[in-house]
Structure 1
Amino acid sequence: MNSWEILEIEPTEELSVIKKAYAKKLKVYHPEDDPEGFQKLREAYDNALKYAKKSKSSISESTKVLSEESISSQQKVFNQPDIKEADHYKEEVYNYNIPHTRIVDDYVEEQIDYYELIDEFFESAESLYNDFYKRIDTKNWQELLNHDIMWQLNYKEQLSRNMIEFLFNHRYLPRDVWRLLNETFNWSEMEEYLAYYYPKGFINYFYRQLGSERIPGYKYFRKVEKFDFEKYLELRERAFANLLNGALEEAKENIFQAYELYDKDPYLKTLEGEYYIKNKKNLTAKIKFNEAVKLTPKDIEIHYFQAETMFDNKRYKEALKICSYIEDYFKTTIEVKMLIGKCNLYRGKLIKAAQMFRLILEYKPLNTMSRKYLAKTAELMRASIYRKPPSILLRLEIKKIYRLLGEEQKIKDLRFTLMDCFRLIKRLFYLFIFLVIALLVLQALLNGEFGAIGVVIVVRIIYSANKRRRYK
C-alpha cells in the first residue's frame, strides 16, 4: 500500500488537498488509539508532501528551459536566419514525438532522516534559549513543540532523554515552560533514569520546577541593555538553594555578586530579606521586603512569594498578614487560599484550616493538594477528639470532611459509643467541680476570709489538674 492509497486520494501536487486528506484520516488513525496506523499515516503524509514539492520544482525548471528556448528563437528571428534553416526547424518540430512518461510511476519514496530532524529540533531549542526574552515566553516553546519530529512516536523516548540533557545545560526557564515540557514528555515516569544519570542537586531542582514549591520567577526583568543573564540567574539560583540548605554565608556572597549584574529584581531583594530573617534581623528583613514591593507595587506575584518565604521560615502569622493584604487589595486565588489553610494548620487552628481546604475542594474537586491537606487535617482532628473540648464541634467538622472526601466508613467510626458518653459525663463532672471551687473562692474573697496566698495555691492546683487532663 503506497502513500496515496493510505491517504485515499489520487496523486496530486496540491498541498491543500494533501493536508485535507491527512486531517480527515487523523480521525481514523488517532496517535493514542492506533499508534502504528498513525505512524504509517504520518510517513505517507511526509512522502506526499515531498512528492508535491519535487513535482513543482520540476515544473518550474521545465518552464525555465522553455522560456530560454523561446528567447533564443526570438534572437534568431532578429538575426534573420535563412529560409532553409527555418524550414528544417519546422520539420523537426512537426516530427518530434513527445515521450509518454508518468511522474507518479517513476517517483520513488525517499526515506526521511529522522535523526537529522532531531538535530534540527534541538538547534531550534538552542537558538530559542539564547534569546532571553523569547525563552521566557511560553508561546515560543509551544511553537517549537509543533515540530515535525514530535509526531514520530517511535522517537519520543529518545527526544525525552535528549530534552532532559538539554535542560541540564540550559535550566533557567520559567515554571510554565517546565510544566509544558513535562506535559509533553511525561517525566514523572523517569525517576529511576534521572537518579542513575544525573546528580542529586539537579534532580532536586528538576522536581522543584515541576512542583508547587516556592521558586523565583522571571517576569520582572526590564528590557535594559543586555547583561549576562545566564550568570545572573546562576548566582540567584545558588543563593536560593543555599538559603534552603542553611548555608547563609554562601547565600549572602551569591546575592551581592548577583547585585553587581542586576539590582532591579524584586525576587533577589526578597531573598536578601530571607537571609536577614534567618539571621534574626527582622527590621532589616522588613526593609528589604518593602524595597522589593516598591519595584512592582501592583503585582500580586511578589507579595505571594514573600508570603511563601514567611511560611517556609515558620513565620505563619506574618504569612497570614501578607495573605490577608493580598485578599484585600488583589484578587483571591486558589494558591493564596491554600497558603492560608496551611498556615492555620501549622498554627493548630484545625477548624479554620479545614474550612479553607473544604472551600478549595468544593470549588475545584480535582485539586489533589487540597485533598491531601484536608485528609491530614481530619486525622489531626480525630486525634484531638478525646483531648480538646469541644469534641462535638470537631466531630461535626470531621464528618463534613469525610463526606466531601467520600470516606463514608470513617463517618460511621465517629458515632457516639458508651465510652464516649462516659467521657462526656466525666468532663461535665470536672467542669462542675471547677465552677463550685471557683464560686467558693470568690465568696471567700468577698467576705475577706481567704488570703492572697490561698488564692494562688488554689488557682495553681486547678491549672495543673487541667493541664494533666489535657495531655493525658
Structure 2
Amino acid sequence: MIKLFRNFKKRKTDTKNANVEFDNTLRDLYNDFFSRINTKKWEKFVDKSTVDFGLEGTSGKLLDFLLDNHNLPYEVWILLDKHFKWSTESEKLSRAFSKTFIQFVLSNINKKYRLRYDLFKENINGSYDDFIELYYKACSELENKNLYMCEKSILKAEEIFPEHPDLIILEGRYYSQINDIEKSLEKLSYVISLDNEDLEAHLYRAHVYMRRSAGCSWRQLSWRRGFYRHHSVTVFKAKQLEYGKSKLQNPGSH
C-alpha cells in the first residue's frame, strides 16, 4: 500500500514537473523573437510535448498560451495546424474556446494576416510585438477607412522599425487612399527597388498605375487586390500591367 502511494505521488510530481517544463520552454521559445519565428524550433518543441502530453493535451495547452501570445508567422501557424488539425477541428474547439479566438486562429492559418516576419532585423528601436500590433491596427483602420487613426499607427510603427517593407507597402496604400498618388508610387517603387520579386508591392503599384491612368478613385476600380490573388497573378503579369499603364500615361517614353 505504501509502495502504491509512493508511485502515485511520484507520478503526480513527474506530471507537475512536466507541466512546469512545458510552460517554461514555451515561454522561452516565444520570448526569443528569432526563435519564435524559427519553424525547426517549433517542430522540436511540439515533438517533445506530444510525447509528454499527447496530441490533444499539447493542443489544448498551446491554445491556452496563444490566447495572449499569438504574434506568430504564417509558417508557424501552418506547422501547428499540420500537427493538431485546428482547421478541421474548429467546431469542436469552439466548445472549449471562444468562437472569436478560434476564428482568429483560422484566419492566421488561412493567411489573412500577411506580415512577413522573416523581414525583421535585430536591434530595432523597440518591441517586435508593439510593431506587429501597430501594423495590424493600421491595416484594420485602413480597411475601415479611418485614415487618421491609420496614419497614427503607421507613424508609431515607423518609430520602431521604419525599414520593414510591409510597413512601407502599407504607407503606399494609405497615400493612395488620401489621393496622393505620386507619394504612393514612390513608396511602392522603393520596396520594388529593394526586391524586384516583391509580389505585394508589384500588385499594389499596378493598382495605383491603373488608377492614375483611369483618373478615378480607388473604390471605383473594378480590379481589386483579391481579384488578382484569386486568379494567381504572378509578378510577371503585374509587371506587364504596370508597363502597359505607364506606356499609356507616357506613350513616347518606351
Partners of 1:307 and 1:195 in 2: CA distance: 38
Equivalent of 2:200, from 276, 300, 305? 305
Equivalent of 2:50, from 150, 154, 176? 150
Report the CA distance between 1:216 and its aligned residue. 1.4
Equivalent of 1:124, from 7, 25, 28? 25
Equivalent of 1:165, from 49, 64, 68? 64
Report the CA distance between 1:309 and its aligned residue. 4.6
Report the CA distance between 1:251 and its aligned residue. 1.4
Q: Is the 8 A contact 1:269 1:289 kept in 2?
A: yes
Q: Is the 8 A contact 1:214 1:308 kept in 2?
A: no
Calculate percent identity across the aligned residue pairs. 23
Report the CA distance between 1:187 and its aligned residue. 0.8
The aligned residue for residue 20 of structure 1 is: none
> Which 5+ residue runs of structure 1 have no aligned equivalent?
1-107, 324-334, 345-472
Q: Is the 8 A contact 2:39 2:76 kept in 1?
A: yes
Q: Is the 8 A contact 1:135 1:141 kept in 2?
A: yes
Query: Deviation per CA, 1:184-206, whole angstroms, max 9, x where unpaired?
Result: 11112443456563373x55542
Runs of 4+ in 1 over 4 A off after TM superposition: 193-196, 307-319
Query: Deviation per CA, 1:379-400, whole angstroms, max 9, x where unpaired?
Result: xxxxxxxxxxxxxxxxxxxxxx
Matches within 5 A, 1:372-451: none
Partners of 2:102 and 2:144 in 1: CA distance: 15
Matches within 5 A, 1:9-28: none
1:198 aligns with 2:98: yes
1:275 maps to a residue whose letter is Y
The aligned residue for residue 245 of structure 1 is: 144
The aligned residue for residue 264 of structure 1 is: 163
Q: Is the 8 A contact 2:192 2:201 kept in 1?
A: no
Find the residue that maps to 2:191 and give its secondary structure. Answer: helix
Equivalent of 2:117, from 218, 223, 232? 218
The aligned residue for residue 213 of structure 2 is: none
Find the residue that maps to 2:151 and give its secondary structure. Answer: helix
> Which 5+ residue runs of structure 2 have no aligned equivalent?
1-6, 208-217, 239-254
| CA distance 1:131–1:212, change in 2 (3 Å) | closer
Range with greater deviation from structure 2 (162-171 or 257-266): 162-171
Partners of 1:304 and 1:291 in 2: CA distance: 13
Report the CA distance between 1:291 and its aligned residue. 2.5
Query: Deviation per CA, 1:215-261, whole angstroms, max 9, x where unpaired?
Result: 11112222235631111111112112222333322211110011111
Partners of 1:185 and 1:173 in 2: CA distance: 16
Equivalent of 1:186, from 65, 81, 85? 85
Partners of 1:189 and 1:114 in 2: CA distance: 29
Report the CA distance between 1:176 and its aligned residue. 0.2
Find the residue that maps to 1:169 and give its secondary structure. Answer: coil
The aligned residue for residue 177 of structure 1 is: 76
Partners of 1:199 and 1:187 in 2: CA distance: 13
Partners of 2:166 and 2:230 in 1: CA distance: 18
Report the CA distance between 1:270 and its aligned residue. 0.4
| CA distance 1:282–1:208, change in 2 (3 Å) | farther
Report the CA distance between 1:307 and its aligned residue. 4.3
Structure showing greater radius of gyration is 1
Equivalent of 1:111, from 11, 22, 44? 11
| CA distance 1:226–1:254, change in 2 (3 Å) | closer
| CA distance 1:307–1:291, change in 2 (3 Å) | closer
Q: Is the 8 A contact 1:136 1:218 kept in 2?
A: yes
Q: Is the 8 A contact 2:189 2:205 kept in 1?
A: no
Partners of 1:290 and 1:311 in 2: CA distance: 11
Range with greater deviation from structure 2 (158-167 or 263-272): 158-167
